[in-house]
Structure 1
Amino acid sequence: MSGNRQPLELPQWPQYGDEERAGLIRALEQGQWWRMGGSEVDSFEREFAAFHGAEYALAVTNGTHALELALQVLGVGPGTEVIVPAFTFISSSQAAQRLGAVAVPVDVDPETYCLDIAATEAAITPRTKAIMPVHMAGHFPDMDALAKLAADKGIEIVQDACHGQGGEWQGRGYGELGSVAAFSFQNGKLMTAGEGGLVLFPNRELYEEAFLRHSCGRPRTDRKYFHQTSGSNFRMNEFSASVLRAQLGRYPAQLATRQERAELLGSLLAEIPGVVPQKHDPRVTSHPHYMQMFRIPGMAEEKRNELVDKLIERGLPAFIAFRAIYRSDGFWETGAPDETLEQVAARCPNTEAINNDAIWLHHRTLLATPEQIHQVAEIVADTLAEA
């Protein structure tokens, strides 16, 4: 392929413009900088909910808190279990563990890297309160099979959609799938205010309880410090919401670009010997493409890590895959299953493989020109050939 050794100049992230500047000034000059007196958070919640086909949205401090709050209002706590993918960012499990629940890792599908339905069913016990499918890199697990399993077993679903604003399963947004969904607006996410999160709720009852708990258990109009529930301060501020409103405004165009570029890059990567791109279910009708993920099956973890370093040297925003959650010490500190690490790993062979040989490229890669996308594939091919 190409012999060009110059680092590739890709679009930067975060992206911003006059819309964010105007929003920040608007929030500044309204004279109220927190959600109880301002209008930016309320407006952002309405706009984000409408974009995802939901009626109820609650903006919070970050994606980890979004997951924790979602689980809490569904009754997750001491004595309960939450099934989570073994391959995910550790916030998915820690949100349950922080509530005193046990996080039970299960294996993922080897093609989508999302929750494996058969493994999920096998992990259900009388203590299972919720299942947390993670939309890994914007991909979906089999949401139809998962919904049926949860309904048959009387178990709640909490969608970890922190990778996936704008995703649709068979034409339905996250808010139309009948379950709670949590999002992140951390600096690297598809929409960002540096930090931030949000939860979509399928009914008003859950939304109202979550509102209380995200504001220290205090009702909106309380003036006597009468706190109706326990809770914490998970409130989003007005400045973050103003930035996110601007980010949402340009989001549809970015989403369309990423979907086009991901199809191109995926096809080019698939032509490289030894490279296997992440696949998505054909029932996904809108794909956010938070990452462009691919595996090099059989590559040892250390060799994979060296390859990532070389890709970075060539200008690609490349990263090693998330470590399997049970391979971090933090997972075992509290709320871990009554198993050894080796026992969990033995029932998660797909996660073990992905842990060692998967690579992801930041989504700003997918905002590049078609010519640059070809250059990205050439760099991957050249670097792999030299490895």
Structure 2
Amino acid sequence: MNVRQTPEFPAWPQYDETEREGLVRALEQGQWWRMGGSEVESFEREFADHHGAAHALAVTNGTHALELALQCMGVGPGTEVVVPAFTFISSSQAAQRLGAVAVPVDVDEDTYSIDVAATAAAVTPRTRVIMPVHMAGFMADMDALAKLSADTGVPLLQDAAHAHGARWRGRRVGELGSVAAFSFQNGKLMTAGEGGAVLFPDTEMYETAFLRHSCGRPRTDRRYLHEIAGSNLRLNEFSAAVLRAQLGRLEQQVTTRQRRWALLSGLLGAIDGVVPQRGDERTDFPSHYMAMFRVPGIGEEQRNALVDRLVEAGVPAFAGFRAIYRTDAFWEIGAPDETPDEVAERCPRTEAISRDCVWLHHRVLLAAEQAQHETAAIVADAVAAI
């Protein structure tokens, strides 16, 4: 491979005095948990407002956000949740840990998000929730999914772990009429190291979720009168203070990523054998959690070698998600009555994408335009060396 200029990428996470001031503010208020402080409640209001939702509930992490949302939507033993086969495994494990069966379906070959026709074919009388994942910040087909939900009576839970600030036909995630879950894990578009949030369109479900995330205990309880079963999923005040600062720069960062992806995707698409992820045009404000592309036809071993070459050249590259049904963890509990090969047979696009997909960390898209050209040149060299 030719020697190339190593691109300069900004560090992630990013922070400035705003986070520092928030941490001091949380420290000096004298109460460091949500029941006595004000940072978590302030963050919840600000996050809900930013996403057009009636309510937001901050929780310990994104996986717990999904699990809590599913529980409040009636998921449990004897029920099924339809999930995309190409996703991080939390999407399925959140349902499985509640005793439900996770049913993987294939994804769209362009957006890598859940395929609507495959989803419709998977709905049964036991299906309690359909979970689209907005892969890399390009939203799933929310129009078709909303119609499917209305036709079947099965509600949607948006896994929006990649979609902070994204919009579908001008509507924000919280304006689409369904529950949505977010992650603030260290690599996400806004982060406090860990953390999560759930957006609720109605007050009744939000109040139920509040009880469940706080051991079933009402806000003003002083006598341990736990009303329903729950767990301790409360976010702490320090994390919330950091997230308030992170939210303040989200819009500007997403706008920068959009501009850089418009450049980088064109450069990648000009490389022989490389196919960049394409978003549905109705995602008119994608958040670009990842810069994803495929090299169709290569195998998993070649793809992994490609990733290694990119990393060696200074590009923060990663292998695409493994199909969830190709992991041992998926089959431990709450798996469908099928073999991995039987699931794979109805998920051909997932099989292919899982073998040949590469993603670049979103900090690549926060770098200067010159870095996009340098990145594409490194990718071209690495692909040619396969």
Question: What secondary structure does 1:286 align onto?
Answer: coil
Is the contact between residue 139 and residue 163 of structure 2 (CA under 8 Å) also seen in structure 1? Answer: no
Is the contact between residue 135 and residue 160 of structure 1 (CA under 8 Å) also seen in structure 2? Answer: yes
Measure the CA separation in 2 of the matches of 1:119 and 1:359: 24
The equivalences for 1:62-101 within 5 A come to 62-101=61-100
Measure the CA separation in 1 of the matches of 2:334 and 2:384: 43
AA of the residue aligned to 2:238 = F
AA of the residue aligned to 2:312 = E
Deviations, residues 79-102 of structure 1 (Å, cap 9, x unaligned)? 000000000000000000000000
Shift of 1:4: 3.9
Which residue pairs with 2:157 in the alignment?
158
Is the contact between residue 258 and residue 366 of structure 1 (CA under 8 Å) also seen in structure 2? Answer: yes
AA of the residue aligned to 1:300 = G
Measure the CA separation in 1 of the matches of 2:201 and 2:360: 33
Is the contact between residue 7 and residue 313 of structure 1 (CA under 8 Å) also seen in structure 2? Answer: no
Question: Is 1:189 aligned to residue 212 of structure 2?
Answer: no
The equivalences for 1:223-242 within 5 A come to 223-242=222-241
Question: What secondary structure does 1:360 align onto?
Answer: strand
Which residue pairs with 1:140 in the alignment?
139
Shift of 1:211: 0.1
Shift of 1:8: 2.6
Which residue pairs with 1:29 in the alignment?
28
Measure the CA separation in 1 of the matches of 2:2 and 2:322: 33
Give unmatched runs, 5+ long, in structure 2: none
Measure the CA separation in 1 of the matches of 2:204 and 2:169: 27
Which residue pairs with 1:274 in the alignment?
273
Is the contact between residue 69 and residue 210 of structure 1 (CA under 8 Å) also seen in structure 2? Answer: yes
Deviations, residues 264-291 of structure 1 (Å, cap 9, x unaligned)? 1011100000000000011111100000
AA of the residue aligned to 2:334 = G
Shift of 1:119: 0.2
Measure the CA separation in 1 of the matches of 2:329 and 2:2: 43
AA of the residue aligned to 2:108 = D
TM-score (norm. length: structure 2): 0.99
Question: What secondary structure does 2:292 align onto?
Answer: strand
Deviations, residues 17-58 of structure 1 (Å, cap 9, x unaligned)? 100000000000000000000000000000010100111000
Which residue pairs with 1:45 in the alignment?
44
Question: Is 1:120 aligned to residue 119 of structure 2?
Answer: yes
Is the contact between residue 94 and residue 331 of structure 1 (CA under 8 Å) also seen in structure 2? Answer: yes
Is the contact between residue 86 and residue 322 of structure 2 (CA under 8 Å) also seen in structure 1? Answer: yes
AA of the residue aligned to 2:184 = F
Which residue pairs with 1:246 in the alignment?
245
AA of the residue aligned to 2:95 = A
Is the contact between residue 132 and residue 158 of structure 1 (CA under 8 Å) also seen in structure 2? Answer: yes
Measure the CA separation in 2 of the matches of 1:6 and 1:171: 39
Measure the CA separation in 2 of the matches of 1:323 and 1:3: 30
Aligned residues with identical type, % of pairs: 70
Question: Is 1:295 aligned to residue 294 of structure 2?
Answer: yes
- Over 6 Å off, 4+ runs: none
Is the contact between residue 5 and residue 374 of structure 2 (CA under 8 Å) also seen in structure 1? Answer: no
Measure the CA separation in 1 of the matches of 2:2 and 2:17: 39
Measure the CA separation in 2 of the matches of 1:17 and 1:343: 50
Which residue pairs with 2:220 in the alignment?
221
Deviations, residues 218-241 of structure 1 (Å, cap 9, x unaligned)? 000000000000000000000000
TM-score (norm. length: structure 1): 0.99
AA of the residue aligned to 1:153 = T
Deviations, residues 126-164 of structure 1 (Å, cap 9, x unaligned)? 100000000011111110010010111010100000011
Give unmatched runs, 5+ long, in structure 1: none
AA of the residue aligned to 1:191 = M
Is the contact between residue 86 and residue 351 of structure 1 (CA under 8 Å) also seen in structure 2? Answer: yes
Measure the CA separation in 1 of the matches of 2:244 and 2:266: 34
Measure the CA separation in 2 of the matches of 1:197 and 1:227: 24
AA of the residue aligned to 1:183 = F
Shift of 1:7: 3.1
What do you get for the CA RMSD once the two structures are aligned? Answer: 0.8
The equivalences for 1:346-385 within 5 A come to 346-385=345-384
Shift of 1:3: 4.6
